[in-house]
Amino acid sequence: MSYFWQSVERNWVLFSLGLASLVAALFTGHPLFFSLMYLFGAMVVISMGWAWLNVHWVRVTRKVQTRHVQVGYFFEEQLVLRNIGPLPKLWIELKDQSDLPNHRASRVLSTIGRKQQRDWHVRTPCYQRGRFRLGPVSVISSDPFSLFLFKQDLPMFTSHVIVYPMAVDLANFQPPIGELTGGDVVQRRTHYVTTNVAGVREYSFGDSFNRIHWPTTARTGRLMAKEFELDPMADVWIFLDMQQNVQAGLTYAQIRPTPLPRVHWEKLPKFSLPASTEEYGVTIAASLSQHFLRQNRSLGLITYPKAHHREIAQSDRGERQLIRIYEILAVTQAYGLLPLAELLVSEGTRLGRNTTAIIITPSIEPTWVAAARHLNDRGIRVVAILIDPSSFGATVTSLKTEIELVANHLPHYLIRRGDDLAQALGSRRN
């Protein structure tokens, strides 16, 4: 209805002439003024009805190829607008209200015949991680005389897309990883095929044929499948420090979308990490997760992104675990209150001997170094990835923390703003 009153304000001259014709016809009775009054009245009624019909009997569908994409890649979808009414549409503006940055799905379409449809492909470069809304959609249209402008919010299903953080290939990353070669198997069932057979069970739909245990199948007359246990390899745990007070540079809320060219055929800007220790930490955690899970390592993640709220991905292997960690990191923001030292003390109890703990932090507090040394004394292999806050505009430096790490014989990596992460994580400082 607000669009209706905007139309009245925009065409006040026409409505004033119509009102003047009505007044003149009533006072003079002259046929000319009656004709003008009928003309203006018919124009208003027909234009309003035409504009109203243009935004009704319209159906919009959204075809999405995937609900998740990684930073640096493209999110692709196809939108279809169909005229399901008996009359043609002169023009329709489709306005998409998605909050995905740089999402250009809105269009102005002209001359859509009855029972016809128009479709277009949308390719959005993703430069910011997070969980974003797709929709809702509104259609706006007018009459041939542009007297009335109507808007209709379509009852369209609103969905979401998750943009995973960027992950770089860490070909030269070789931290001291705990190995349990020749030790006892881990007494935990797994859906992976390993060299350690734990027993047999009845065949389930989806089991591969190489899991079938044929001697037991022949003896029982039923299909029986083998169960496996994990190989004797030490787990890897990532501790991501999301305490708000130790971060430097931009926060997630301060990051602005990368401006795109005005025309589609111009070259897109190259993605670069925002000047934020928060974004660097999340990207490093995603890169390490990809690195270890591709090696079929058992990996877990712990972080405290909000107050004392904990996000944890229990130690596991495979692509499913990688997606789980990506989904946590996509929405993680540094609003935590728990200091890293307390995190290591409280969560370190779940780590066993020869487990590898990788700590990612911009904190320069000496207390977390002492907590890391205590884990190391328990036989846990600790690796620190220190993000230098001074390179992100902070007034403090990580030099004393580096000295503490060296004095306690804790291997570490130093990351500064603008570093090539693959190269920086390939040179360890002992």
pLDDT digits (tens, 9 = 90+) for 125-163: 999 999 999 989 999 988 887 778 888 888 776 889 999
**Rounded mean pLDDT, 25-48:** 79
Q: Compare 205 and 82 and report the one with higher pLDDT.
A: 82
196 half-sphere exposure, CB direction, 13 A CA radius: 16
User: Helix, strand, coil proportions of the chain in percent (round to 5)?
Assistant: 30, 30, 35
Q: What pLDDT does residue 382 have? A: 94
Question: Residues spanned by CATH 2.60.40.10 within the chain?
Answer: 1-164
Among 213-222, 301-310, 335-344, whose mean pLDDT is lowest?
Answer: 213-222
Q: In 10 A of CB 97, how many CB atoms?
A: 15
The pTM (predicted TM-score) of the whole model is 0.81
- The band of 323, judged by pLDDT with boundaries at 50, 70 and 90, is very high
Least confident piece of the model among 92-101, 128-137, 139-148, 404-413: 139-148
According to CATH, the topology of domain 1-164 is Immunoglobulin-like (2.60.40)
The 3-class secondary structure across the chain, one letter per residue, is CHHHHHHHHHCHHHHHHHHHHHHHHHHHCCHHHHHHHHHHHHHHHHHHHHHHHHCCCEEEEEEECCCEEECCCEEEEEEEEEECCCCCEEEEEEEECCCCCCCCCCEEEEEECCCCEEEEEEEEECCCCEEEEECCEEEEEECCCCCCEEEEECCCCCEEEEEECCCCCCCCCCCCCCECCCCCCEEEEECCCCCEEEEEEECCCCCCHHHECHHHHHHHCCCEEEEEEECCECCEEEEECCEHHHCCECCHHHCCCCCCCCCCCCCCCCCCCCCEHHHHHHHHHHHHHHHHHHCCCCEEEEEEEEECEEEEEEEECHHHHHHHHHHHHHHCCCEECCCHHHHHHHHHHHCCCCCEEEEEECCCCHHHHHHHHHHHHCCCEEEEEEECHHHHCCCCCCHHHHHHHHHCCCCEEEECCCCCHHHHCCCCEC
Paired tokens of 399? 């030099």
210-263 pLDDT tens trace: 788 888 888 888 888 877 655 556 789 999 999 999 999 999 999 988 888 877
CATH 3.40.50.410 in the chain: give the residue spans: 236-424
Mean pLDDT of the chain: 86
Question: Which CATH number is correct for 236-424, 3.40.50.410, 3.30.450.40, 3.40.50.300, 3.40.50.12280?
Answer: 3.40.50.410
